[in-house]
Amino acid sequence: MSNLEAASSVVDTIMQYSSCLIATHINPEGDAIGSMLALALALEQRGMMVSCYDRDGVPENNRFLPTWERVTRELPSTIPPLVIYVDADRLERCALSQKALPGAVAFVRIDHHQSDAVNPGPALVDPHAAATAELVFDLLSLLGATLTPEIATCLHTAIVVDTGRFSYTNTTPHTLHIAAQLIDSGADLPTIIDWIWGRTKFAAAKLTGIALSSLQLSAAGRIAWAVLREEDFRAAGAQTDDTEEIIDSIRSIRGTGVAILFSEKQGQVRISMRSNGEVDVAKLARAFGGGGHVKAAGITYQGPIDYAVCDVLRAIELELNA
């Protein structure tokens, strides 16, 4: 099925309903939140009642996006008949399941992640898209929505985050063409850059220092990794979303093919991975119940952090030596 056919099927389904729930993946970032909010604003132009849900809420550096306050960490008491999940390859990545959504009769996926998961309904999926926001942008005209400055700001945020300010190899001419239209439509680029990259909390800066002091190399320098333990967060006075920029510092080390950050917080171990393409970290993440892209993926590991380090490093070394 072509993207146009898939988009038409998605829109045909959406237009059958007057209310919906939009969800996105756990530990969200700019593409997840920006795509969710842009779609919500577009659907409200059609008179739909829209609820937005993320189990982990909105990270602090996204709390400038128009209507970010609407995203709740609790499901609505009454689940709408339509559930749309964005930037996630399956409902489980949103900490949801069909059984957990009584009353939902239709499910729509809008995403740019490669996945073997079976979609429970119509899906617009393009792994070649730099961000899910590109797909939401393409849906606007089919939905009959107007590209407002608010929608443009949400979508532009999503795209600059997932392309690393247009520095990653996923940036295409189509990506730049969309970005130009978003700026022309009023996307607030200075505010986006200031909030996402220009502002660092004191606690986040301290946490970065702690993480980098733990930095190690494995596999003859092909893997760079760092660990943050529960006591490190306490020492820095930091929160889980204060780790967002650390992985990029690890990734910048010359000669490494894979960068990893292991973070232990509130009884969970979050693992962020970046790859130069030599290892498909999305495939590896799926083996541990996570997900993502070939070059950027994440895992929520069930077990002690020392086990996580051993298991994930071993799996990556096997891939490097394959």
pLDDT in tens, 18-27: 999 999 999 8
Which range, of 152-156, 192-196, 239-243, averages the lowest pLDDT? Answer: 239-243
What mean pLDDT, rounded, does the chain reach?
A: 94
Distance CA 93, CA 85 (A): 10
**Whether residue 165 has pLDDT greater than 80:** yes
Residues 63-93 have pLDDT tens digits of 999 999 999 999 999 999 999 999 999 999 9
**Whether residue 254 has pLDDT greater than 80:** yes
pLDDT at res. 101: 96
- Please return the burial class of 231, using the count of CB atoms within 10 Å of its CB with bins 0-12, 13-18 and 19+: exposed
Distance CA 293, CA 264 (A): 22
Residues 101-143 have pLDDT tens digits of 999 999 999 999 988 889 999 999 999 999 999 999 999 999 9
Residues 293-322 have pLDDT tens digits of 888 899 999 899 999 999 999 999 999 987
Q: Global pTM?
A: 0.86
pLDDT at res. 2: 79
3-10 average pLDDT score: 93
Angle at 240 between CA 96 and CA 35, to 5 degrees: 50
Q: Which residue has the tokens 């596999």?
A: 219
Give buried/exposed letters for 64-97 (b at 16+ CB in 10 A, else e): bbbebebbeeeeeeebbebbbbbbbbbbebbbbe
pLDDT at res. 67: 98
> Percentage of the chain surpassing pLDDT 90?
83
Distance CA 207, CA 294 (A): 27
The model's confidence at residue 244, banded by pLDDT at 50, 70 and 90, is confident
Please report which helix (H) or strand (E) contains residue 301, including its range: strand 296-301
- Cα dihedral 91→95→101→106 (10° resolution): -20
Distance CA 91, CA 85 (A): 7
> Percentage of the chain surpassing pLDDT 70?
100
DSSP 122: -
Q: Which domains does the chain have, with CATH numbers?
A: 3-197 (3.90.1640.10), 202-321 (3.10.310.30)
Residues 186-204 have pLDDT tens digits of 999 999 999 988 778 899 9
Q: Are 299 and 283 in contact (CB under 8 A)?
A: no
The model's confidence at residue 169, banded by pLDDT at 50, 70 and 90, is confident
- Residues with Cβ within 8 Å of 44's Cβ and at least 6 positions away in sequence, in order, are 50
pLDDT at res. 196: 87
- Please return the burial class of 148, using the count of CB atoms within 10 Å of its CB with bins 0-12, 13-18 and 19+: middle
pLDDT at res. 1: 67
pLDDT at res. 98: 94
Distance CA 304, CA 300 (A): 11
Q: Which residue has the tokens 């392309």?
A: 163
Residues 37-59 have pLDDT tens digits of 999 999 999 999 999 999 999 99
